[in-house]
């Protein structure tokens, strides 16, 4: 959002004339590091080999190398963003469920959710954001009982959506895409005689994508080919007794697939790297504990590095949150997993997001006294996890935490927390150069907030979506608020 003045510095030789006069001296940096051997305009400061304006440069805000993720003004890192007025983005009466959002780097967004049309029909509906909201209506149907839609978008705004359908036999997985400015017709991508549920999707810059889902006691993978708008044959990269599968695609089209697999009856975390044309490489463990692994989540950045987080413990009362980092150049996960929480209390339901430089933010729920609170830990690439921080300061129980990051490393976490009697939507922002800015209520409407999600685009723009029930009637709508 902010940009500072930067000039190429002029390098000079330090020496004297025959008469002893100084030929040239270097400019001093603002942090007292001494002579640099460069000369800058009086209004600029030499930082390394560049002349910069410490008053406005987000890479050198107030001093050399002091990064600011948003706006640098008068040498101070600032966050001028505000949450916009919540808008209804669904288009019809009927029960709405589980909104999910994905955003492009240019802050376009796609939101999907399930909506009851009548007692026997539930369809997936979609809305798109490009400065204003466009409701695209149903993208599934006209018949079916469709649940748990998931969405992914690429930088061009192409999208893939997958969901499972129940009724008239075993559940099946279906998909549709937004490509070339319109939605494709739905297509069943799972077998019609096998129970197939809870799909996940990812899409690459070329429009090709991957869907994965649970099929009885194993998971299935299928690749989408954008040029033919078709799905390739099913693959089964994991073994038997697998589930909780996740997938994300890097800029080169390669994907990280992660899942939980029962090894000697103990659920553990595994992964493979999927490359177009050759499939998954040999599956490898993400962690090597003997603890029961639950609630696996995955984030992958454009370079192909990844962070996995999960809940683990010997029993639910002592569960903690752990993480491992994948180095795409080495092709390996961390030698040992890191414990993210620092408490003996139960920590669960982790979520994670990642930026372009390989930094990450994990959030989770942790029991506190008789309630629950939201905690976070930030990973700095090449350094490690910084340490835990609580994101809210209320005595009311918090739940349903979600987190998103932009390419510059700014993050937004959202969660549901009672404000008086009704559950409300709360958020906390992490800004590079400022840290966490504090909890804030996103909306002030009457009624109940449920099932939130959040995504980030470029320049710190974020969108939160949620299901909102009217307090007295329990009529519900999908709402969105834009942080910009």
Instruction: State how far the Cα of 138 lies from the Cα of 140, in Å rounded to an integer.
Output: 6
* Intra-chain end-to-end CA distance of the chain, in Å: 10
Residue 382 has pLDDT above 50, yes or no: yes
* pLDDT band, very low/low/confident/very high, at 172 (cuts 50, 70, 90): very high
Q: Cβ–Cβ contacts within 10 Å for residue 316, how many?
A: 11
| Residue among 197, 226, 195 at smallest CA distance from 212 | 197
Instruction: Indicate the range of 56-70, 305-319, 363-377 predicted with least confidence.
Output: 305-319
At 98-118, the pLDDT tens digits run 999 999 999 999 999 999 988
| Residue among 348, 352, 351 at smallest CA distance from 367 | 348
Residue 365 has pLDDT above 70, yes or no: yes
At 427-449, the pLDDT tens digits run 999 999 999 999 999 999 989 99
The string of DSSP codes covering 272-315 is EEEETTTEE---EES---SSEEEEEEEEE-TTS-EEEEEEEESS
Residue 8 has pLDDT above 60, yes or no: no
Instruction: State how far the Cα of 452 lies from the Cα of 450, in Å rounded to an integer.
Output: 6
* pLDDT band, very low/low/confident/very high, at 364 (cuts 50, 70, 90): very high
Instruction: State how far the Cα of 112 lies from the Cα of 139, in Å rounded to an integer.
Output: 9
At 292-307, the pLDDT tens digits run 898 999 999 999 999 9
Residue 90 has pLDDT above 80, yes or no: yes
Classified as helix, coil or strand, 80 is coil
List, by residue range, all CATH 2.130.10.120 domains of the chain.
Answer: 87-483
* pLDDT band, very low/low/confident/very high, at 317 (cuts 50, 70, 90): low
What are 216's two structure tokens? Answer: 């009885």
Residue 408 has pLDDT above 90, yes or no: yes
Q: Which pLDDT does position 56 carry in this prediction? A: 96
Instruction: State how far the Cα of 330 lies from the Cα of 104, in Å rounded to an integer.
Output: 28
At 177-205, the pLDDT tens digits run 999 999 999 999 999 888 999 999 999 99
- The pTM score is 0.90
Residue 1 has pLDDT above 60, yes or no: no
Options 2.130.10.120, 3.90.950.10, 3.90.25.10, 3.40.50.1100; CATH for 87-483 is 2.130.10.120
Instruction: Please state the separation of Cα 134 from the chain's center in Å.
Output: 23
Residue 466 has pLDDT above 80, yes or no: yes
Residue 253 has pLDDT above 60, yes or no: yes
b/e map of 73-90 (b: 16 or more CB within 10 Å)? eebebbbebebeebeebb
Instruction: State how far the Cα of 363 lies from the Cα of 348, in Å rounded to an integer.
Output: 9
Non-local (6+) Cβ contacts of 382 within 8 A are 358
Sign of CA dihedral 417, 422, 427, 428: negative
In angstroms, the Cα distances linking 124 to 88, 96, 186 are 16, 10, 10
- What integer is the mean pLDDT of 328-335? 94
């Amino acid at each position: 959002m902010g940009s500072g003045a930067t000039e190429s510095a002029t390098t000079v030789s330090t020496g004297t004339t025959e008469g002893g006069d100084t030929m040239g001296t270097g400019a001093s940096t603002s942090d007292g590091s001494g002579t640099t051997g460069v000369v800058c305009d009086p209004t600029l400061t030499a930082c390394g080999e560049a002349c910069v304006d410490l008053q406005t440069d987000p890479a050198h805000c107030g001093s050399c190398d002091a990064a600011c993720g948003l706006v640098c003004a008068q040498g101070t890192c600032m966050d001028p963003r505000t949450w916009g007025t919540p808008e209804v983005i669904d288009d019809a009466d009927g029960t709405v469920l589980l909104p999910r959002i994905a955003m492009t780097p240019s802050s376009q967004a796609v939101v999907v959710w399930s909506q009851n049309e009548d007692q026997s029909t539930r369809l997936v509906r979609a809305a798109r954001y490009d400065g204003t909201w466009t409701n695209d209506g149903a993208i599934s149907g006209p018949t079916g009982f469709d649940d748990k839609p998931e969405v992914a978008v690429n930088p061009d705004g192409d999208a893939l959506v997958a969901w499972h359908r129940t009724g008239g036999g075993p559940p099946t997985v279906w998909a549709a895409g937004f490509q070339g400015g319109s939605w494709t017709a739905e297509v069943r991508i799972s077998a019609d005689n096998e129970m197939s549920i809870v799909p996940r999707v990812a899409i690459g810059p070329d429009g090709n994508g991957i869907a994965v889902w649970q099929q009885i006691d194993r998971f299935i993978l299928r690749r989408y080919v954008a040029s033919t708008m078709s799905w390739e044959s099913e693959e089964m990269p994991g073994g038997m007794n697998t589930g909780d599968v996740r997938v994300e695609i890097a800029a080169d089209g390669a994907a990280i697939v992660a899942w939980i697999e029962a090894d000697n009856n103990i659920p553990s975390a595994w992964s493979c790297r999927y490359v177009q044309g050759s499939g998954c490489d040999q599956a490898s463990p993400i962690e090597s504990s003997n603890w029961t692994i639950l609630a696996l989540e995955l984030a992958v950045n454009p370079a192909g590095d990844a962070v996995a987080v999960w809940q683990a413990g010997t029993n639910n009362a002592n569960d903690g949150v752990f993480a491992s980092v994948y180095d795409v150049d080495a092709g390996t996960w961390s030698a040992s997993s890191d414990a993210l929480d620092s408490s003996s209390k139960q920590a669960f339901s982790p979520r994670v997001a990642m930026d372009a430089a390989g930094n990450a933010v994990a959030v989770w729920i942790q029991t506190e006294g008789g309630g629950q609170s939201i905690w976070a830990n930030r990973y700095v690439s090449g350094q490690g996890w910084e340490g835990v921080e609580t994101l809210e300061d209320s005595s009311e129980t918090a739940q349903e935490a979600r987190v998103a990051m932009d390419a510059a490393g700014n993050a937004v976490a959202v969660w549901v927390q009672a404000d008086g009697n009704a559950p409300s939507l709360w958020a906390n922002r992490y800004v590079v150069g400022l840290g966490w800015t504090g909890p804030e209520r996103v909306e002030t409407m009457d009624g109940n907030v449920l099932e939130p999600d959040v995504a980030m685009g470029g320049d710190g723009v974020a969108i939160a979506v949620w299901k909102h029930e009217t307090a007295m009637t329990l009529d519900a709508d999908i709402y969105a608020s834009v942080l910009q």
